[in-house]
Amino acid sequence: MSTALTFLTPPPGFAPDVDFLLDDIDGANGLYALSSAATAAGTAHRLFVLDAAVYLPQYHPEITDFQRRQLGLEAPEDAVVLVVANPTLDGTTVNLLAPIVVNASTGSCAQVILENQDWPVRAPLEPVAA
């Protein structure tokens, strides 16, 4: 399944792209490919993101009231929190300091930097219990 997402501002390193598709990865619940449309130069951006509720149940970042208003979030359950996954030969890390927060109703989203919170940029991803 594919879901259209629109960033309020281009995510870092992806300017000027703001329109993306969030695609399920077959056989991996909560793992997605986030892809931009092809640019005029013929290139597209893609990265892998994880649904924090599935892979990081103890992760509860707090966004600011300003960030909530920008995204039009009325209640916590209106938000889906995604974290960027960085696979390497040594394992996969996730960026917990700058999650992508999605308004589940509108598809509006933003990669936010969490203020006054001590989350790592490269947290090792631990296996999920079956």
The residue extents of the domains of the chain are 2-124
| Cross-strand pairs, 20 | 5, 36
The per-residue pLDDT for 51 is 97
Looking at CATH, the fold of the domain delimited by 2-124 is given as BH3618-like (2.30.290)
Choose from 33-37, 101-105, 125-129 the range with maximum mean pLDDT.
101-105
Sign of CA dihedral 123, 94, 119, 57: negative
| pLDDT, average across residues 57-84 | 94
- Give 2's pLDDT tier (boundaries 50, 70, 90): confident
Whether 36 shows a pLDDT value over 70: the answer reads yes
